[in-house]
Amino acid sequence: IQGWFPVYDTMRGICGELQLTIYIQHIMDFNPVEDSAVGVKVLSSSVPPENYFVSELFGLVDELLVEDDPEYNWQDSFRSSRSSNDARQLLFLVMDGKLRRQIGRKVTDSGGNALLAYQTHFDLEDNFIVARGIGTCVCLSPIL
């Protein structure tokens, strides 16, 4: 992955750019962490990538997470709006990663290796943040 990425401030919005080049080297196919979903391709597109076809369709997978909203915490009465907003943004990031891992685990348990048409939705309900993830579990195979 390489390119220019926006620098985002939780109060001011986008306030600059940062050029990054990231190289990923996958060393082994075994992950000792049980809730890992290593090897699962998570795609927002409903169409498989070029040079791949859907060899098997397993069906819909979904997951739901509920966490307390840090904006409604008792500490919020004396905490600055920036730190309160940062806490909420961090919670969104953590919930999104946890959601992808849990759905990815369902994909591997079903025998799939990819998740097509993946969507994440966050809802602010009363004093809670609800994260919902949904996608289609498939097995992708390369076109020979």
- Which pLDDT value is given to residue 2? 86
List pLDDT tens digits, range 18-54.
999 988 776 655 555 556 667 789 999 999 989 999 9
Contact predicate 87/98, CB 8 Å: no
- Degrees, nearest 5: CA angle 103-109-110: 90
Return the exposure string of 103-134: e unless at least 16 CB atoms fall within 10 Å of the residue's CB, then b.
bbbbbeeeebbbbbebebeeeeeeeebbbebb
What's the mean per-residue pLDDT of the chain? 85
What pLDDT, on the 0 to 100 scale, is given for residue 36?
64
pLDDT digits (tens, 9 = 90+) for 81-97: 666 678 888 999 999 99
Looking at residue 143, its amino acid is: I
pTM of the model: 0.72
Could you tell me which residues are beta bridge partners of residue 120?
133
pLDDT > 80? residue 114: yes
d(CA 54, CA 143): 10
How many residues are present in the chain? 144
